[in-house]
Amino acid sequence: MKFTGKVASLLAAGAMVGASFFAAAPAMADTTDQGSVNGVSQQAGDPALINDAASTRLTITKYLGDTTNLPNNGTVQNMTGRDSLSGVNFDVYKVSGVDLTTNAGWEAAAKLKGANLSTASSGTITATDDTVYTVTKEGTVTTGQDGTATFDGGVALYVVVENLASSSPVNNATGKPVTAGELTGAAPFLVTLPMTNPDNRNSWMYDVMVYPKNQQATITKQVLDGNVGTSGQDGYTVGQDLTYRIKTSITATDANQDNTVNGADLGYYYINDQLDATNLDYKAATLSVVDASGTQVATLTEGTDYNLTSDGDRVQVSFTSAGLNVLAAHSGSFVQTDIVATVAAVPGSGLIDNTAYFEPNNSYWTDQGTAAPTPGDNPKDEPENPPTSNTVTSKYGDIVLHKIGENGVALKDAEFKVYRATKDASGAFTCETLGDTAIATSTTDANGLASFKNLQLSNWYNDGETSGAITDAKDFHSYCLVETKAPSGYQLLADPIEFDLTVAGTVTDLSTAFADAERDANAKDSAGGNIEVVDQLDNLGNKLPLTGGQGVALVSALGVLFIAGGVAYYVRSSRRRQDA
């Protein structure tokens, strides 16, 4: 064949077919003879020519994380510090009809650059000039504990397809399991065995190294239910609102290999939040794109960028084609979904849990051989093992009050109101200032018992701040008890009683609950959910002087005598005048 400048350029470009799919790590000095396989040189008599009888090897090193901007050229790279992935399967297909020992074969190979390689599993791939090539599966290799897998073959053009659907279990470098649904798969790639050595350009590498990477799709969740005065975030009892904040990662790569990154590379993006159908009522939702710090970097509009549906307890968000383009343009950022729900009831346990999941792209479906749903539509079937968030919990309980007199007698008909404590200048909760509205009221029964139902725990709000109980008592969100009507013969409480609720769950038997030592708490900073209130007798039981008595009676009697004497004197005087 006559040698042309066109073919010369193809020799350079064709040797690197698929190189854009190799993720490079920091380079190191190449101490490996990549012209040899298993220690045996595969070079032809003239190293600038291909040995058509050579053995070749492809070494795949699989890792989790971002790509670097260093060359990815088939040479050995230093993977120190990278998070390797074990258990990942790669299917290797040989392309028929492409002879790499000829210049015509390299020209044909070059026309496959940019082809849709995902069809390899069906047995064919189509070049950019519409030539259809048959591919034959040569085998499947699986990465080991160090993240590497090797394929031994001959001189040929190969298609390598990551098969996450069949990869199980997958573990990171520390041995922690990683579900396939959490991984953004590496795109299929072409690789020529051998490749031109990029370091000296005068020989061939028969032992080729590639470093495909995965990014792990992440979804995190918060519950915002302890922020007084913030709309939608103060779900301290039934009838109040709380917000579930979901952050899902955006990872867009050139998955369809058209040399651009846009919404088509994601193909699909879906978020699902199953609310507690019994105890929560969906109210509203808003979405935006935020960076790692939570700063908004793009707006999202319902009906344009995404469709939202809710059947009262499940919230589903599916991004449209337009919305996928917005997400792809902000790869590396996050979708922030805020779902506001009203606390409709509290279960007996006092715990309301919530978990969400998402599908970060269409590979979740295609990896399983299923067509992804249409952008903007909800999936018809529930997916298996999708990336799932942490579980967040809101916790509620009941305060049980026992009202007694100073002698221990139970006092009925005492009326109380409960307020939330407010923060003072130092940031500590206090009852020095009460809000305008009481959050609960109750009246003691014949046993002197009363309860205040479904109040948020003092030591658990905003999911315990960091998914754990709040342990510093100064941060407990306390409550303030005010007696609004005292029983007959007893004094009102002079000031509010500050108390904490730290035991979750509803109370059905007040007397039993009050005897429960775990719930016993009569002072602030104590654990529990019981409080005993002692009323003092009117005037501490002392009698006031009567407005009457012997002195008053004596004066009254003397008055009567004086009046009687006056009347007798008047009568006698009248008779004397008449006799005269």
Closest among 271, 237, 250 to 339, alpha carbons compared = 271
- State the pTM of this model: 0.75
For residue 8 the two structure tokens come to 């010369």
pLDDT along the chain (580 residues), means of 10: 39 40 39 85 94 96 71 81 89 96 95 87 92 96 94 97 87 83 80 93 94 86 93 96 97 78 94 96 97 96 97 93 97 96 97 95 75 93 84 96 91 96 88 88 96 95 87 90 94 92 92 81 61 80 53 50 52 51
Question: In the chain, where are the structural domains located?
Answer: 5-215, 219-390, 395-540, 547-580
Burial of 197 (0-12, 13-18, 19+ CB in 10 A): buried
Closest CA to 54 of 139, 127, 131, 155: 155
Exposure string of 92-118, with b = 16+ CB inside 10 Å and e = fewer, is: bbbbeebbbbebebbbbbbbbbbbebb
Compute the C-alpha angle 216/222/225, nearest 5°.
Answer: 175
Phi, psi (degrees; rounded to nearest 5) at 34: -80, 5
Indicate the SS3 state at residue 521.
coil
Predicted local distance difference test score (pLDDT) of residue 21:
38
For residue 384, what pLDDT is reported? Answer: 76
92 SS3 class? strand
Task: Name the CATH topology of 395-540.
Answer: Immunoglobulin-like (2.60.40)
What was the pLDDT predicted at 249?
95
Nearest to 182 by CA among 151, 214, 154, 211: 214
Fold: same for 5-215 and 219-390: yes
Tell me the residue ranges of DSSP E strands in 262-414.
270-274, 280-290, 296-299, 306-310, 314-319, 334-343, 351-354, 356-359, 392-405
103, two tokens: 């210049």
Q: Is 475 exposed, middle or buried (0-12, 13-18, 19+ CB in 10 A)?
A: middle
d(CA 177, CA 64): 13
User: What ranges in 441-549 are assigned the alpha helix state H?
Assistant: 510-514
**How many CB atoms are located within 10 Å of the residue 251 CB?**
22
Q: Say which CATH class 5-215 falls into.
A: mainly beta
* Contact yes or no for 542/531 (Cβ under 8 A): no
Question: CB atoms < 10 A from the CB of 165, how many?
Answer: 18
> Dihedral sign, CA of 366, 259, 323, 330?
positive
* Separation CA 453–CA 458 (nearest Å): 14
Residues 6+ apart with CB under 8 A from 498: 421, 429, 430, 431, 478, 479, 480, 481, 524
Residue type, 221: K
3-state secondary structure at position 421: coil
For 69, other C-beta atoms within 10 Å of its C-beta total 6
Q: What count of other Cβ atoms lies within 10 Å of the Cβ of residue 520?
A: 17
Could you give the CA distance from residue 85 to residue 72 in angstroms, rounded to a whole number?
A: 19
By residue count, the chain amounts to 580
Burial class from Cβ neighbours inside 10 Å (0-12, 13-18, 19+) for residue 413 reads: middle
Residue entry with tokens 């190799």: 22
CATH code of the domain made up of 219-390: 2.60.40.740
User: Which structure tokens are listed for 96?
Assistant: 């028929």
Helix (H) or strand (E) holding 575, with range, is: helix 550-579
- The closest alpha carbon to 77, from 86, 67, 87, 85, belongs to 67
